[in-house]
Amino acid sequence: MYTLFSGLWKYLFQKDEFFVLILGLDNAGKTTYLEQTKTKFNKGYKGMNLAKITTTVGLNIGKIDLGKTRLNFWDLGGQEELQSLWDKYYAESHAIIYVVDSSDRERIEESKAAFDKMIVNSSLHGVPLMVLANKQDLEGCLSVEDIKHVFNPIPEVVGDRDCKTAGVSALRGDGVCDGINWLAECIKRNIVSRPPTQRDIT
């Protein structure tokens, strides 16, 4: 009888947990994007004042539930001295969100250099990737096609992973839901290569 109830409990309450890294240079809008994600997917979440978000030093975390799937987000600091810490999280991650400030033309090459170093790491082989052209609400920003052209990795590096480049405005919340839903589906398709961490939710 215990086995029956235990199986039913797991069926009803167990979540498949996945870990998503949010990377990019400082001031790209990573933390704002995470806050919008938590606000849109967590009922009743009040969220931070987006106007008062400052540069991340270290790590911001967040989580959302999509049915029986739980996504845990790690928003890592993007300053040059902190980028050396990114690879400490690669082996445990199930997906990458790389945020680009499409309004900052002067730092595009710097962002591309950080991206190139990240994407060739063997610990990320096959991991779904979403590149976000953030701040699309600002006049004069680079278009999604511009960002796609700059950040398009060579096919040998991409392999058979799912990849997407999309435009967002983290400040306004534009494009956030579509991107997260797409990423969640990709993570579930990649479950054989990167199995979830399962936890009983009480």
Residues at the binding site for Mg(2+) are 31, 56
Classify residue 58 by burial, with Cβ atoms within 10 Å: 0-12, 13-18, 19+. Answer: exposed
| Binding site feature residues | 24-31, 56, 78, 134-137
Angle between helices 144-151 and 108-119 (to 10 degrees): 50
Please report which helix (H) or strand (E) contains residue 129, including its range: strand 129-134
Point out the residues that are catalytic: 79
Task: For residues 44 and 46, give the distance between their C-alpha atoms in angstroms, rounded to a whole number.
Answer: 6
Nearest to 153 by CA among 114, 190, 185, 105: 114
Which residues define the annotated binding site for GTP? Answer: 24-31, 78, 134-137
- What percent of the chain is helix, strand and coil (3-state, nearest 5)? 40, 25, 35
